[in-house]
Structure 1
Amino acid sequence: MKFNSAFPFSAIIKNCFLMGFLCLTAMCFGQEQSETDSLELRYTSNTYSKNKKLSLLNELAQKHPDPQKKLFYSLELIEHAKLLDSSKFLFQGYMYKGTSLRLKSDFIQALESYFKAANIASKNENQRDLGLVNISIADIYSITSNHENAVKYYKAGMDLLKKENDLENYANGLSNLGDEYFNTKEYDLAMECFMESGLIFRKIKSLEGNAFVLGNMGMVYAEKGKDDLAEANINEAIRIMKNLELYYPISVYLTYMSDIYASKNNRKAAIAYSKRSLDLATKYSLKEQISDANLQLSKLYELNGNYKKSLNHFKDHSTFEDSVANIEKVQKMADLRTEFEVSKKQTEVDLLTQQQKTQNIQVDLLNQQNKNKQNVVVATIIALFLIAMIAFGLFRRNKYISKTKLIIEEEKHRSDNLLLNILPEETAQELKKNGKVEAQRFESVTVLFTDFESFTSYSEKLTPEKLVKSVDYYFSKFDMIIEKYKLEKIKTAGDSYMCAGGLPFPTKDHAIKMTLAAFEIVQFVEDTKHLNDPDIAHFDIRIGINTGPVVAGVVGTKKFAYDIWGDTVNVASRMESNSIPGKINIAENTYQLIKDAFECEYRGEIDVKNKGILKMYFATSIKEKTFYAFMNGQKEVV
């Protein structure tokens, strides 16, 4: 749980979708402001040749960061493309028009513009353009909460882009699909999409794509309660986006940073992030973010007891959110008031007529009627009072039950999360259901051990605080890498880290995934040596890997621990102790499984303590086809 249930910050981000920004039509936000200023000066001063006008308008519509000006240049491009019968620039004009309208929250007209672009692409039989516009159409359906159509158009667009071998825009669509899964709270599917698109963005060195992947992964971590990972990812995304002037997503991520700090009860920082988001959204007329930032500030000021500011921000939020609904309500109220006034006048007329008819009624009868009316009024008041008391009692009781139920659900959710941090999900479910976990044998599991070179002697020179911070820094990154490849962390002991692949769900490619993870661990440790942080110690690392059968189970009755046993584990440990710093030492069994995917160097037969002579290899590099297999979304690589 991120924050108090009465203040659901995560709901603020639900309608602040980032999907469209990774499409080709929205990459324009990453250009330098000076470049767009220069282009505008050329256009307004008419210092260009006539045959360059379409190209200049195309650049302005593509690159301008202001949605209103982007719309203006898109319409100019469409008009001149029609005059010159240029289907290429006409397609681009409708795409940029759709993007600018979407940024201005005019979703119906944005969708109409995208469908016009789709008709042009179909007529020209341009599959790549049709793939791009399908992704943009899916963005609109996603923003308007039409999940079924959003997923349908994302997948259709991605299929076309993949057939055209357009890896960059295929990755964009994949990232947008991850956003859609995020908004429907399918966080595992979302993270799978983000990780796969991230591999491609890093391969093609796309700063924009990598920034969005970092930010979106941060949002997933935040929803899973992993606020430290969320904050690190989102801050890095914002840093990159500042240089690229990606204003809308910065505004969204700033709101999410406010969410994270609010969950830590740091309201001062939360308010500062929300104000930054509001200022940025106001500057560029980003209506959704203006509404969301105002709502977030309203909630924060309410918690701080500043009700005046809270009310002002809530009014600003409502101005956008409920403008249409308010107009309808005012009209309805006007109609009701007119009906009431007519009814009131008619009642008065009827009353006067009745008074004229009853003037001659005897005085004692009139007094009796008045007395009866008084009795009815008194009885009615008493009845209404009793009904109000009963309703109030039921309201209090229902509120108490709801609050108690919510507390129970929160505690259950917290205990489930704690259990999942200790045990694999399948094992945790078995433990909750049966109260115990039966030991299970797995015929093929890959086990990895790491160890820091000369850790004991080096750690004696460090303060306890620096030592703990350094080990936590390394192991936290190892955890992220292991989670990325869907491997299972087993345990840590001092400076030793142990993980396994192929359990609790057997797979065929666990050796491949484990070796890929090992390469990332080695690269991370090497990169850390260049980190200019006096609080982080620098180490060399040895890695050992072995594959074979193991027995897995849970030990303990109070502090549960998931562990594995067998000769495979012992040999993996020996592989690590016989490795050298910066190298990945693998046993014969592992080598036979990965030799087609990785370059390996045979070390010969080495005498190992208590194991005799064993063949060993160094995994030295990744063969190109291994990367492309994962990039293309294969579930298993052989």
Structure 2
Amino acid sequence: MLLPGPVVRSLKETGRVEPELFEEVTIYFSDIVGFTTLCHYSTPMEVVDMLNDIYKNFDSILDHHDVYKVETIGDAYMVASGLPNRNGDRHAVDIAHMALDILSFVGTYQLEHLPGIPLWIRIGVHSGPCAAGVVGNKMPRYCLFGDTVNTASRMESTGLPLRIHVSKSTINILKRTNCQFEYEQRGETYLKGKGKEITYWLTGVTGQKYNLPTPPTAENFQRLQQDLAEMIQASLAKRAACTEGFEKRKTLSTKIRRRETSSSTQSDPPDYFHLAVTDNPSTYL
């Protein structure tokens, strides 16, 4: 599962994998907004458990689409479609459906160790050509190369929380298909190394209902991002108070049981085994 099937077969048979150029693929990036702040108020094990739980749910969503999970880097999640198996124009359609499914899941997800704290992710999608291959001998990985990868990453980093930021090239491919995706123009967005380009927000599919979370506005997001630390502190204080109250109730309950046990022991006469020995050689109990 670490490498695509054709790559594994090539490695087994020849010990190497020839790099391959794909004329058109769609690449998805997402990351967790405020991840550094979440880590600051979490133990290392809580961070691992959180990412593991989130990514396991993401992985299960991928099973329903023709996509390939490339890798995870910290809180970043990278997926591609159209490679290693070419699928016509389906790569943009499958990534778009997958992104909507992931965003629907995030809207209902609750952090176990920080109850009440929302999980915000940014999603970026872009389509174009790229090369793929396995580099290195130790721990071989299937890597993607090219400007398409960089642009998809820029689409994610310049997006907004709980939004699917899509490039014009992906929208053009979606228009070629029979699927009627709903989207709205964001306007000109500055992409580092690319300049200003027209980008879009993907909002749904006509005739299909997605339970998407309501994204904050750009102004509200700035305020929410500043307040995130205070929200986490309040959540931790509430959890500590609940834990302290539970411990007090537990201690009180233990004391009451001990008193009841002590009282019961003093009021009830103890039972004894009486051993009577007589001149008769038999012993009676």
* TM-score with structure 2 setting the length: 0.68
Q: Which residue of 2 aligns with 1:624?
A: 207
Q: CA deviation at 1:578?
A: 1.0
Match for residue 91 of structure 2 among 505, 510, 534: 510
| Cα distance in 2, alignment partners of residues 534 and 587 from structure 1 | 35
Distance 2:183 2:38 in 1: 31
SS in 2 for 1:469: helix
Q: Greater share of strand residues, 1 or 2?
A: 2
Aligned amino acid, residue 94 of structure 2: K
How far 1:622 moved relative to its partner?
Answer: 1.1
Partners in 1 of 2:72 and 2:91 — Cα distance?
Answer: 20
Q: Which residue of 1 aligns with 2:196?
A: 613
- Give the deviation of 1:496 after TM superposition: 0.3
**CA distance in 2 between partners of 1:550 and 1:487 (Å):** 15
Report the Cα offset of residue 535 of structure 1.
Answer: 6.8
Task: Select the residue among 93, 113, 124 that pairs with 1:534.
Answer: 113
Contact 1:466 1:535 in 2 (8 A): no
Structure 1 residue 552 and structure 2 residue 132: aligned? yes
Equivalent runs, 1:231-242 vs 2, <5 Å: none
| Dislocated runs of 4+, deviation >6 Å | none
For each residue in 1:315-371, what CA deviation from the matched residue of structure 2 results, as whole angstroms up to 9, or x when unmatched?
A: xxxxxxxxxxxxxxxxxxxxxxxxxxxxxxxxxxxxxxxxxxxxxxxxxxxxxxxxx
Partner of 1:449: helix, strand, or coil? strand
Query: Quick check: 471-480 or 441-450, which moved more?
Result: 471-480
Partner of 2:185: 602
Q: What is the correspondence of 1:324-343 to structure 2 with a 5 Å cutoff?
A: none
Distance 1:491 1:538 in 2: 24
Structure 1 position 577, deviation (Å) = 0.6
Contact 1:489 1:499 in 2 (8 A): yes
Q: How far apart, in 1, do the equivalents of 2:182 and 2:138 lie?
A: 45
1:69-108 equivalences in 2 (<5 Å) = none
Match for residue 478 of structure 1 among 48, 58, 62: 58
Q: Give yes or no for the alignment of 1:466 onto 2:46.
A: yes
After superposition, give the CA deviation of every residue in 1:418-459 in whole Å (9 maximum; x if it has no partner).
Answer: xxx210111111111110001000001000000100111221
Q: 1:531-579: per-residue Cα shift (whole Å, max 9, x none)?
A: 7x33787420000000000000011202011110111111100110111
User: In 1, distance between residues paired with 2:23 and 2:170?
Assistant: 13
Give the Cα separation in 2 of the matches to 1:553 and 1:623: 37
2: CA distance, partners of 1:426 / 1:579: 34
Provide the secondary structure at the position in 1 that maps to 2:196. strand
Question: Which protein has the larger Cα radius of gyration, Structure 1 or Structure 2?
Answer: 1
Mapped partners of 1:437, 1:577: distance in 2: 32
Q: Distance between the aligned counterparts of 1:614 and 1:557, measured in 2? A: 39
Q: CA deviation at 1:486?
A: 2.4
- Equivalent in the alignment of 2:37: 457
Quickly say closer, same or farther: Cα 1:626–1:452, change in 2 above 3 A. closer
Matched, 1:434 2:3: no
Matched-pair contact (CA < 8 Å) for 1:546–1:575:
yes
Number of equivalences = 205
Partner of 2:70: 490
CA shift for structure 1 position 483: 2.4
Q: Give the conservation status (yes or no) of the 8 Å contact 2:81–2:92.
A: yes
> Distance between the aligned counterparts of 2:209 and 2:41, measured in 1?
42
- Which amino acid is the alignment partner of residue 599 of structure 1? E
SS in 2 for 1:624: coil
Shift of 1:624: 2.2
**Quick check: 1:444–1:502 contact (8 Å CA) kept in 2?**
yes
8 Å contact from structure 2 (residues 122, 164) kept in 1: yes
TM-superposed deviation, 1:626: 11
Given the superposition, is the C-alpha separation of residues 524 and 625 from structure 1 closer, same or farther in structure 2, using an over 3 Å criterion?
Answer: closer
CA distance in 2, matches of 1:553, 1:440: 6
SS in 2 for 1:446: strand
Instruction: Please tell me the residue identity of whatever aligns with 1:431.
Output: L
Give, in whole Å, the separation in 1 of the partners of 2:113 and 2:71: 28
Q: Which residue of 2 aligns with 1:414?
A: none
Question: In the alignment, is the contact (CA less than 8 A) between 2:125 and 2:165 conserved in 1?
Answer: yes
Look up the match of 1:314. Answer: none
> How many percent of aligned residue pairs carry the same amino acid?
38
Unaligned runs of 5+ in 1: 1-420, 628-638
Greater RCO (Cα-Cα under 8 Å, separation 6 or more): 2
Separation in 1, partners of 2:209, 2:103: 18
3-state SS of paired residue (1:484): coil
Q: For 1:97-496, what aligned pairs fall within 5 Å after superposition? A: 421-496=1-76
Residue type of the alignment partner of 1:495: D
Pick from 586, 593, 598 the counterpart of residue 173 of structure 2: 593
C-alpha distance in structure 2 between counterparts of 1:567 and 1:492, whole Å: 19
SS of the residue corresponding to residue 63 of structure 2 reads helix
Structure 2 distance, partners of 1:432, 1:443, is 27
Alignment correspondent of 2:163: 583
**Contact 1:469/1:535 (8 A) holds in 2:** no
Q: Name the structure with the higher helix share.
A: 1
Q: 1:547 to 1:575 in 2, by over 3 A?
A: same
State the 1:625 CA deviation: 7.7
The separation in 1 between residues aligned to 2:12 and 2:119, in whole angstroms, is: 40
Q: Distance in 2 between matches of 1:459 and 1:520?
A: 26
C-alpha contact (below 8 Å) 1:607/1:614 kept by paired residues: yes
Structure 1 residue 485, shift from structure 2 partner: 0.5
2 CA distance for matches of 1:422 and 1:438?
Answer: 18
Q: Which amino acid aligns with 1:434?
A: T
Match of 2:81 among 468, 485, 501: 501
Task: Find the aligned partners of 2:65 and 2:39 in 1 and give their Cα distance.
Answer: 30
- Aligned partners of 1:482, 1:555: CA distance in 2, in Å? 25
